Amino acid sequence: MERLRRLGLFSLLAASVGCADDAAVDPFAGPVPAQCPVTSTEQSMVMTKLVLLRQSAPGISDGFNLDGRVSGADDALSCRRRDLTNPDGTAGVDNQLSLLVPALDTATAGALDAAIQGAINNGQMMLAVSIEGLDDRLNDPCVTVVFRRVQGSPFVGSDARIDPGQTFDTIREEPVSRVTGRMRNGVIEAGPFALGLPVAVLTARFVIPIQNAQLRIRWRADDTFEGLVGGGIPAAGMIAATETLVIGSDLMGLVRRLILSITDLDPDEDGNCRSFSAAVAFEGRAAFVNP
């Protein structure tokens, strides 16, 4: 009897330890699954603002460390391009596009930001972001973020931004970007993935192909969003895209030389970098997206 009593007590203790171990499993541990469990809950937004990030001060820019390195002028793997520093002091930020944006400002007579905002507000440059597979709007170990080109005639409020709660239609012939990530305290992080970023500047219309993109989105309690995308842009593709701008040949030649002077990613066998790093900030508001 005593032996049976001891065996029962041992079994009870073992079961309680097992339960404690199960409860201690961190759902955020390990790599992000390639596919998240399907749930009926999702949230969509439409981008209401998009900004090609500049340097707030020399050498200072928000962005991502895309290559996992802190590069100086002696780093051949980044083609000797100096990394930047995040405003919070974090070193290793890759955003060489910030050196090109002033030239694009010149090319558009200082109207770059206004031209992009106008294209968003008039419906020429609308991108929707959907968060699928939601279990919790603050902490979720696996969510899917989907980027889609959408169309419609947006209503714009007195703040010169698209009003929330509107419905837009997916442009089905346009590519869709999809990536899984995690959400902690309302902040989603995901990547790497490929993203085609549509840009409309004055008479030019083109898509910037962002490779190995990293994403961070903050979902606020009022269903507004702020986000950051960083990644590599092939230099040859960007040169071809900027050739659609209505600018003089001298300025076009300058832009081309600038692009080739900021490449810091994807070195070839000869050590020549074929892409340059970029960071883009955006804001958004809740919307409905028809598939």
pLDDT 10s digits, 124-151:
999 999 999 999 989 999 999 999 999 9
Cα angle: 109, vertex 125, 288; to 5 degrees: 145
Q: Is the peptide bond before 234 cis (omega within 30 degrees of 0)?
A: no
Show the tokens assigned to 25: 């499993």
**What pTM does this model have?**
0.85
- Beta strands (DSSP E) in the chain are 43-52, 84-85, 91-93, 127-132, 140-151, 167-170, 177-184, 187-201, 204-219, 224-234, 265-267, 273-286, 288-290
Is the pLDDT reported for residue 92 higher than 80?
yes
Please report, as a single letter, which amino acid is at residue 140.
D
Spatial CB neighbours of 54, under 8 Å, sequence gap ≥ 6: 61, 98, 101, 102
Q: Which of 8-17, 66-75, 111-120, 203-212 has the highest mean pLDDT?
A: 66-75
- State the Cα–Cα distance between residues 274 and 268, nearest whole angstrom: 7
- Please report which confidence band the pLDDT of residue 16 belongs to, taking 50, 70 and 90 as the band edges: very low
What's the mean pLDDT in 36-51? Answer: 91
What is the three-class DSSP state of 33? coil
165-223 pLDDT, tens digit each: 999 999 998 889 999 999 999 999 999 999 998 887 767 778 889 999 999 999 998 99
Cα 9 to Cα 12, 16, 290: the distances in Å are 5, 11, 59
CB atoms closer than 10 angstroms to residue 227: 21
- State the Cα–Cα distance between residues 278 and 265, nearest whole angstrom: 10
Q: Which helix (H) or strand (E) holds 14?
A: helix 2-23
